[in-house]
């Protein structure tokens, strides 16, 4: 009997990447193998992202091509999963009737029933209150680093964001399930875990909050590095900062999305902090963990953002001296309230502001990287290339090393060259 093949294309964030690992885990347990050629596949899956219009357009153009594969081979099953599936729902099937199934992020476990052909419904979008209690098989591609979900959904309702409408309300996974999963990963040789959640800081399982969870993970033998994304600044507590400082395995890096330097815009975004409150936390992080690297997200051209508001973002970047940023133009999304705000900013102004932000941040990133020149860093080797290996510092900087080190090795490296987006190093004998 022919082995069935799955083609999967993932868009968007780490949460989606990890969901795809679970979808593949389920399918491999049913005997499927992965193919990178959609024309050969028995199942084609798009795991979609709705966060920005661009990501959605990219997925729609990919999906358009699939129609022709389906005409040639009507047996191919086409599944659209992820946040865009959740938002667009049956509209997507109306527009593209060749889609067989639409499944939202809370329903990825239904893939099993789809391949067993024991499901009548084609549209699976209902909130699954128990997704955080399921132990789904996971096909992890990386052998050194692993993602681990700790909390699903989000209760924050930032006015530009669709996540609370696509991934539902916050549900924390039981701590014992998380700890078991990480122990198992360490037995399999994983060295680094990244804890995932829309807002990891609001994790809670009874008495166990996020700092306590981190302290327990810190005790797991074999795991050498702990990272987490994403932290909402309003929930970053002093206790968490002290836990980061006092737990040797927690890496000296935090991604702390600022979004805007203007308090007026932060209020319109419903972010629940002012820039000064945000900056106080940055200062507290740097006081406690002097070599921490801090990265952020910035949105330019949010409705009603004037030149003066934008200038405040520029000043915030100068003052904060981030190690890196992800900057985007505001993108109106269905269901997100800010899409209907008055004072939408024109595309030309958004593009100009984005260019200015990126140019400034490039200078800051390059300057921050220069500080690493001639320092000794611990590197975890993550990838092999033709020229050698690539690893990361604890502060999440990419380091290229001309060497044939093994994947998963932790080595001390002297930084010999610095660039804007990476460093080069030599192994210390």
In this chain, which stretch among 97-105, 161-169, 244-252, 355-363 interacts with ligand SF4, using CB under 6 A? 161-169
CA distance linking residue 353 with residue 345, whole number of Å: 11
Q: Does 163 bind ligand SF4 (CB under 6 A)?
A: yes
User: Which residue, 164 or 324, is less far from ligand SF4 as judged by CB?
Assistant: 164
Q: Which of 158, 289, 300, 379 binds ligand SF4 (CB under 6 A)?
A: 158
CA distance linking residue 258 with residue 295, whole number of Å: 9
Q: Rounded to the nearest 5°, which phi and psi values hold at 111?
A: -55, -35
CA distance linking residue 267 with residue 274, whole number of Å: 8
Q: Does 154 bind ligand SF4 (CB under 6 A)?
A: yes
Q: Does 326 bind ligand SF4 (CB under 6 A)?
A: no
User: Which residue, 156 or 393, is less far from ligand SF4 as judged by CB?
Assistant: 156
Q: Does 336 bind ligand SF4 (CB under 6 A)?
A: no
* Distance of alpha carbon 301 from the chain centroid: 23
Q: Does 161 bind ligand SF4 (CB under 6 A)?
A: yes
Q: Which of residues 366-385 bind ligand SF4 (CB under 6 A)?
A: none
- Minimum distance between the CB of residue 30 and ligand SF4, rounded to whole angstroms? 32
3-state helix, strand, coil in the chain (%, to 5): 40, 25, 40
User: Which residue, 155 or 422, is less far from ligand SF4 as judged by CB?
Assistant: 155
User: Which residue, 79 or 158, is less far from ligand SF4 as judged by CB?
Assistant: 158
- Minimum distance between the CB of residue 72 and ligand SF4, rounded to whole angstroms? 40
* Orientation angle between helical segments 83-95 and 53-72, nearest 10 degrees: 50
- DSSP track, 363-402: HHHHHHHHTTTT-EEEEEEEEE-SSSEEEE-TT--EEEE-
Q: Does 199 bind ligand SF4 (CB under 6 A)?
A: yes
The answer to whether 272 touches 260, Cβ cutoff 8 Å, is no
Which stretch of DSSP H or E encloses residue 47? strand 43-48
CA distance linking residue 363 with residue 127, whole number of Å: 44
User: Which among 77, 80, 42, 75 has a CA at the least distance from the CA of 60?
Assistant: 80
- Minimum distance between the CB of residue 161 and ligand SF4, rounded to whole angstroms? 3
Beta strands (DSSP E) in 211-278 are 225-229, 253-255
Write the binding mask 99 to 138 for ligand SF4: x where contact by CB under 6 A, - elsewhere: ----------------------------------------
User: Which residue, 35 or 199, is less far from ligand SF4 as judged by CB?
Assistant: 199
The answer to whether 392 touches 352, Cβ cutoff 8 Å, is no
Q: Does 156 bind ligand SF4 (CB under 6 A)?
A: yes
Fill in the DSSP letter of residue 250.
B
Write the binding mask 15 to 54 for ligand SF4: x where contact by CB under 6 A, - elsewhere: ----------------------------------------
- Minimum distance between the CB of residue 116 and ligand SF4, rounded to whole angstroms? 33
- Minimum distance between the CB of residue 80 and ligand SF4, rounded to whole angstroms? 21
In this chain, which stretch among 1-9, 93-101, 160-168, 320-328 interacts with ligand SF4, using CB under 6 A? 160-168
Distance (Å) of CA 348 to CA 25, 301, 423: 44, 10, 34
At 408 the three-state DSSP class reads coil
- Minimum distance between the CB of residue 22 and ligand SF4, rounded to whole angstroms? 19
How many chain residues touch ligand SF4 (CB under 6 A)?
10
The answer to whether 178 touches 152, Cβ cutoff 8 Å, is no
Q: Which of residues 204-263 bind ligand SF4 (CB under 6 A)?
A: 232
The answer to whether 118 touches 138, Cβ cutoff 8 Å, is no
User: Which residue, 156 or 313, is less far from ligand SF4 as judged by CB?
Assistant: 156
In this chain, which stretch among 84-92, 138-146, 152-160, 372-380 interacts with ligand SF4, using CB under 6 A? 152-160
User: Which among 325, 323, 252, 261 has a CA at the least distance from the CA of 294?
Assistant: 323
User: Which residue, 26 or 158, is less far from ligand SF4 as judged by CB?
Assistant: 158
Exposure string for 222-238, b = 16+ CB within 10 A, e = fewer: ebbbbbbbbbbbbbbee
User: Which residue, 225 or 232, is less far from ligand SF4 as judged by CB?
Assistant: 232
CA distance linking residue 266 with residue 422, whole number of Å: 32
By the criterion CB under 6 A, which residues form the site for ligand SF4?
154, 156-158, 161, 163-164, 198-199, 232
């Amino acid at each position: 009997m022919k082995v069935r093949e799955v083609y999967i294309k993932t868009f968007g964030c780490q949460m989606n990447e990890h969901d795809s690992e679970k979808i593949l885990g389920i399918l491999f347990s049913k005997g499927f193998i992965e193919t990178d050629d959609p024309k050969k596949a028995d199942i084609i899956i798009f795991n979609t992202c709705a966060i920005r219009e661009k990501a959605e357009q990219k997925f729609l153009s990919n999906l358009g091509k699939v129609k022709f594969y389906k005409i040639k081979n009507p047996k191919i099953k086409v599944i659209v999963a992820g946040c865009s599936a959740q938002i667009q729902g049956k509209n997507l099937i109306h527009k593209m009737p060749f889609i067989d199934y639409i499944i939202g992020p809370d329903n990825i476990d239904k893939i099993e029933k789809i391949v067993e052909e024991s499901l009548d419904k084609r549209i699976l979008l209902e909130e699954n209150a128990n997704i955080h209690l399921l132990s789904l098989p996971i096909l992890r591609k990386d052998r050194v680093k692993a993602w681990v979900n700790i909390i699903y959904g989000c209760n924050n309702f930032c006015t530009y964001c669709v996540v609370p409408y696509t991934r539902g309300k916050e549900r924390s996974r039981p701590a014992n399930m998380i700890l078991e999963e990480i122990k198992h990963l360490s037995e399999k040789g994983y060295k680094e875990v990244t804890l995932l959640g829309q807002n990891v800081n609001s994790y809670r399982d009874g008495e166990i909050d996020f700092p306590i969870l981190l302290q327990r993970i810190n005790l797991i033998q074999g795991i050498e590095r702990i990272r987490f994304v994403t932290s909402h600044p309003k929930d970053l507590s002093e206790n968490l900062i002290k836990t980061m400082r006092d737990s040797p395995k927690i890496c000296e890096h935090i991604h702390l999305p600022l979004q805007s330097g203007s308090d007026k815009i932060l209020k319109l975004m419903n972010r629940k902090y002012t820039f000064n409150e945000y900056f106080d936390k940055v200062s507290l992080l740097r006081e406690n963990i002097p070599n921490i690297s801090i990265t952020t997200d910035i949105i330019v051209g949010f409705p009603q953002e004037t030149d003066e508001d934008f200038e405040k973002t520029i000043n915030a970047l100068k003052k904060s001296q981030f190690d890196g940023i992800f900057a985007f133009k505001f993108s109106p999304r269905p269901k997100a309230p800010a899409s209907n705000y008055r004072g939408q900013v024109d595309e030309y102004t958004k593009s100009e502001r984005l260019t200015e932000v990126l140019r400034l941040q490039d200078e800051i990133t390059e300057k921050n990287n220069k500080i690493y020149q001639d320092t000794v860093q611990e590197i975890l080797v993550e990838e092999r290339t033709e020229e050698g290996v690539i690893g990361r510092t604890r502060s999440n900087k990419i380091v290229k090393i001309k060497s044939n080190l093994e994947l998963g090795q932790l080595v001390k490296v002297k930084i010999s060259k610095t660039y804007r987006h990476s460093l080069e190093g030599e192994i210390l004998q």
